[in-house]
């Protein structure tokens, strides 16, 4: 039943993509065929999830169709999103990393009398594809304004999420994320990636590096 539901969801997604002209890429080999639909702007992401995720993420719906006789093991970490624009790479984020209760919030203060803008976007540490270092989602450093001689300092505050209500978006992200496990029939779901700056569809490639071998999908 779950596979049938995924297939119906994918069919609807393809029709929606055609209607809105969302970028679609297809590629495969003797073991696996992949169709990927790219939600690359705030409007298309909001239509799919009810939120634009702050403009920090690219969302890709993938349909996996095994074509060999042996079942395939599916893992979200089999995928990697790459940008030709600046060489950035991103592995998929877990729903809890996007809309979970805990986050690391960074604010900036000035010791020289200048006024410094404050960026309270979440920062995640050690996420694959970020070079192993914490970074702010969106990649924008707070700009200093006023006295250029003033020194600025970034202060990180860890939020445990204790006592906070669960973000309703988390349930949506979990429901629509690509399921993991062994498959022998078509399977569909979403993957969530974060890249700094703006990237056109033609700049992006989705790489599959799983048990079926390497497959590259180009959004052109």
Q: How far is CA 17 from each of CA 10, 12, 21, 23, 58, rounded to the nearest angstrom?
A: 10, 9, 5, 7, 15
Residue 137, pLDDT above cutoff 70: no
Give the whole-angstrom CA distance, residue 58 versus residue 65.
22
- pLDDT tens-digit series, residues 71-109: 999 999 999 999 999 999 999 999 999 988 754 343 444
Q: Region 191-211: what's the mean pLDDT?
A: 94
Q: Region 147-164: what's the mean pLDDT?
A: 49
- pLDDT tens-digit series, residues 114-135: 434 444 444 443 333 333 333 4
How deeply is 24 buried, as exposed, middle or buried, from its count of CB atoms within 10 A (0-12, 13-18, 19+)? middle
Radius of gyration of the chain, Cα coordinates, nearest whole angstrom: 19
Give the whole-angstrom CA distance, residue 87 versus residue 203.
10
Buried b / exposed e over 62-92, threshold 16 CB at 10 Å, is: bbbbbeeeeebebebebbbbbbeeeebbbbb
- pLDDT tens-digit series, residues 43-61: 999 999 999 998 889 999 9
Domain 2-96+167-218 part of CATH 2.60.40: yes
**CA angle at residue 210 from 204 to 214, to 5 degrees?**
55
Domain assignments of the chain as residue spans, ordered by start: 2-96+167-218, 101-159
Q: Region 140-165: what's the mean pLDDT?
A: 47
Give the whole-angstrom CA distance, residue 200 versus residue 184.
34
């Amino acid at each position: 039943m779950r596979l049938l539901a995924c297939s119906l969801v994918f069919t609807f997604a393809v029709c929606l993509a055609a209607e809105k002209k969302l970028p679609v890429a297809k590629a495969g080999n003797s073991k696996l065929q992949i169709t990927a639909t790219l939600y690359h702007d705030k409007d298309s992401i909001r239509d799919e999830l009810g939120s634009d995720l702050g403009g920090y993420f690219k969302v890709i719906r993938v349909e996996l169709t095994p074509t060999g006789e042996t079942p395939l093991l599916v893992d979200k970490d089999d995928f990697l999103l790459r940008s030709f624009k600046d060489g950035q790479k991103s592995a998929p984020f877990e729903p809890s990393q996007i809309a979970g209760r805990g986050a690391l919030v960074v604010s900036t203060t000035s010791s020289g009398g200048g006024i410094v803008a404050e960026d309270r976007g979440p920062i995640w540490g050690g996420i694959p594809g970020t070079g192993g270092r914490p970074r702010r989602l969106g990649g924008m450093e707070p700009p200093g304004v006023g006295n250029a001689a003033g020194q600025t300092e970034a202060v990180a505050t860890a939020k445990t999420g204790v006592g906070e209500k669960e973000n309703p978006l988390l349930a949506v992200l979990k429901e629509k994320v690509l399921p993991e496990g062994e498959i022998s029939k078509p399977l569909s779901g979403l993957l969530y990636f974060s890249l700094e700056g703006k990237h056109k569809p033609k700049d992006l490639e989705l790489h599959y590096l799983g048990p079926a071998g390497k497959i590259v999908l180009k959004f052109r």
